[in-house]
Amino acid sequence: MWLPKEERHLLMVYTVFDPNFDGQDMVFKVEDLKWALDKCLQPSKIVKRASELRKEAEKQDQKVNTLENTQTDGNKKVEEYMSWLRAKATIRSINNRLRARGLIESRECDTGCYEVKMTLAGWDLGDKYNSWCSRNVLWFREYKDHWIWLIVGFLGGIVGALLVNWLSNGNK
Q: The domain spanning residue 94 has which CATH number?
A: 1.10.10
In a domain, 136, yes or no: no
Instruction: Output the pTM of the full model.
Output: 0.73
- The alpha carbon of residue 134 and the mean position of all alpha carbons in its chain are separated, in whole angstroms, by 14
In a domain, 167, yes or no: no
φ, ψ at 108 (rounded to 5°)? -90, 110
**Rounded CA separation 36/91 (Å):** 10
Q: How does 112-127 read in b/e, with b if 16+ C-beta sit within 10 Å? A: bebebbbbeebbebbb
pLDDT given at position 172:
59
How would you class 6 by CB atoms within 10 Å of its CB: exposed for 0-12, middle for 13-18, buried for 19 or more?
Answer: middle
In a domain, 72, yes or no: yes
**pLDDT tens string for the chain (172 positions)?**
888 888 999 999 999 888 888 878 888 888 888 888 877 778 888 888 888 888 887 777 545 444 444 445 677 888 888 888 888 889 999 999 999 999 999 888 877 889 999 999 999 999 999 989 998 998 888 888 889 989 999 999 999 999 999 999 876 5
pLDDT given at position 98:
93
Beta bridge partners of 108: 114
In a domain, 64, yes or no: yes
In a domain, 113, yes or no: yes
In a domain, 156, yes or no: no
pLDDT given at position 63:
54
pLDDT given at position 163:
94
In a domain, 13, yes or no: yes
pLDDT given at position 26:
87
| Domain that residue 48 falls in | 5-130
| Domain total in the chain | 1
In a domain, 140, yes or no: no
